[in-house]
Structure 1
Amino acid sequence: MQRIVFYLFLNLTLLSSALAGGRLPATGGVTQIEGAGGGGLVPWALISGYGTRDEVGGSAFYTRVNTPGFSLTSVGAAVGVFDRVELSFAHQSFDLGDTVPNTHIGQNILGLKVKLYGDAVFDQDRLCPQIAAGVMVKRNHDYDFVPTLLGAMHGNDVEPYLAATKVWLNGPFGRSLLLNGTLRYTRANQFGILGFGGDRGDTRKLRAEASAGLFLTDSVIVGVEYRQKNDNLSVFKEDNAADAYVAWVPNKHFSVALAHAELGNIANKKRQRGPYLSLKADY
């Protein structure tokens, strides 16, 4: 089933290539690890792809994060419809390393994002940001093994969020500046990879996320991100996540992002940090 959904999204992005391309470079963001348009860790209010209000755009992505104890691979695709609605799909595979040898945890994520108000780029005479509401539907395929043993209460969940993004074309030093803030209503453990809820808490809580990016040139962006997370499992402490990134967007069809990710404690491994690589093709 996951392959059918992935190929459906991929075919839609390929079919949209003849229709999209009117927006400014980098205004679809890179792709967030859960499939939404945004930064690596945080969804933005921007809609994936380069389609304008009269176009359909899309993207496909591959992301890899490595830490000393674990690795995460995420692949997926997104479709942006009339710069108003975004549909996304991501499949994550989490390698448990020597914690549980030869074991992976798989998670599928379906996403929907709707732009509610404003335009992050073209409303330069207004302080109000672009605002979008989204939801991620997550299904952990291996909940009955490791997540259950750790005390997780659920293998599936729904995460609503609200994002606000603003771009200043004439920001510091005459360069463009992007700021984003996101509120997510969640009870996920490690993004849902270790299930949802636990013995320390089984209710959703509002968690804050933020991104900042500065365009050093028209095609090179540097920035930082921060993501607040839950701490639902008493067996292992869960820390907040952050990254520092550089993204290269040479044209409207390809981008690459490199980052150093700080993920803190994951399961029985402390101080999990390491490189993050994300490749994206836009249409």
Structure 2
Amino acid sequence: MTPQHPSPRLRTRAASAIALACSTAALLAAPLAHADTGKLVLTGGVSSVEGAAGGGISPWAVIGTQATDGQTGASVHISRAVTRDYGLTATGVAVGLNDRLELSLARQDFNTRATGTALGLPGLHLKQDILGAKLRVAGDAILDSDTLMPQVAVGVQVKHLRSSGLDATLQALGAKRTGVDLYVSATKLFLAPGILVNGTLRATRANQNGLLGFGASLGGADGGYELQPEVSVAWLLRPNLAVGVEVRGMPDKLRRAGAAAGLGDGLRASHWKDVFVAWSPSKNVSLTAAYVDLGPIVPATTNGRRQTGAYVSAQFAF
């Protein structure tokens, strides 16, 4: 089956958007290195693998960077996850405006390792670009810390999976290579005990975060949007040290399509989870390490193994 490729117009628009985001972050970062920003460390979260500020795998309602009201900030991050059969590298930039609006760009590189070889595609890397925007619409995590009012934000993530040797397979399953996630997040910080709780509800069609495309139609599979919950809880042991857990719901849209293709449950998916520790050695630097459990990813080629492993991330924010 001949794979479909994005039109020249789509490629041009995507390249222009990516170049604009990178240029904006670069221009902002230099002057902001000396800005007198006043946000408390770790209260802006860390950079997720999708670029939005929050935990490692889920966005929070907080606006990233060190900028507060009336300020503009920027951040960059690099993250790496290694599981039993796969590896994921994510890099990104973000801009925070007036502690109200966050714009982000992330690029993901998913090394399929033995799975690519089993599919006859040795050295297969799945690469995805994610453009994000998040708007705080109510509350303030710090100023409302002595009330029950959470900080609330709405967000959008536009995802594009680049062309690869897997295009024909995704097309046969009825999965697309471009998708849009919509979400609403509520973050509540209890400052006295140092507890942060976040809940996110995401409307998505993404298979394994979009790394295996979006939706599916083979065998009558449901390719529409689903609402998936995401929950994070963090405990500030010290002002610059936090530990926590995250659980992120993941659609299982490829299971039925995989069964129709003769793979049984070989494409099933399950929720992502992590247990993390985040440390900020200085106001502008945060380091995160985590144990991750991403459930089965293409279990047809990995004997059904759960993808558990380690995650590390470094963020520099101004």
Range of TM-score over shorter length: over 0.9
Tell me by how many angstroms 1:265 deviates. Answer: 0.4
Mapped to 2, the partners of 1:195 and 1:5 lie a distance apart of 25
More helix, by proportion: 2
Following the alignment from structure 2 to structure 1, what is the Cα–Cα distance between the partners of residues 145 and 298? 45
SS at match of 1:266: coil
**Higher CA-based Rg:** 2
Distance in 2, matches of 1:112 and 1:86, equals: 6
Equivalent residue for 2:204? 186
Residue 91 of structure 1 aligns with which residue? 107
CA contact under 8 A between 2:72 and 2:98: conserved in structure 1? yes
- Structure 2's unaligned 5+ residue stretches are 1-14, 117-121, 259-266
Alignment-mate amino acid for residue 155 of structure 1? R
2:188 is aligned, of 163, 166, 169, to: 166
Asked if the contact 1:152/1:233 (under 8 Å) is kept, the reply is no
Q: Who is 1:207 aligned against? A: 228
Number of the residue aligned with 1:232: 253
Q: Please tell me whether the aligned partners of residues 69 and 98 of structure 1 are also in contact (alpha carbons under 8 angstroms).
A: yes
Instruction: Calculate percent identity across the aligned residue pairs.
Output: 38
Whole-Å separation in 2 of the counterparts to 1:6 and 1:67: 30
SS of the equivalent of 2:307 reads strand
1:219: how far off? Answer: 1.1
What RMSD over aligned residues (CA atoms) do the two structures have, in Å? 1.6
Q: CA deviation at 1:128?
A: 1.2
Q: Decide which structure has greater strand share.
A: 1
What number of residue pairs does the alignment pair up? Answer: 279
Instruction: Answer whether contact 2:145 2:188 (CA < 8 A) is retained.
Output: no
Cα distance in 2 for partners of 1:230, 1:145 equals 20
CA drift at 1:150: 6.7
User: What SS is found at the alignment partner of 1:18?
Assistant: coil
Q: CA 1:9–1:152 in structure 2 vs 1: closer, same or farther (change >3 Å)?
A: farther
Question: What pairs with 1:141-156 in structure 2 (closer than 5 Å)?
Answer: 141-142=162-163, 145-146=166-167, 148=170, 151-156=173-178
TM-score, structure 2 as length reference: 0.84
Q: Deviations over 1:118-167 (max 9, x none)?
A: 00111123201000000000001036725516724211111110000011
SS of equivalent to 1:194: coil
Q: Which residue of 2 is the match for residue 109 of structure 1?
A: 130
Q: Is the 8 A contact 1:6 1:90 kept in 2?
A: no
SS at match of 2:147: coil
Give the distance between the partners of 2:236 and 2:316, measured in 1 at CA.
Answer: 20
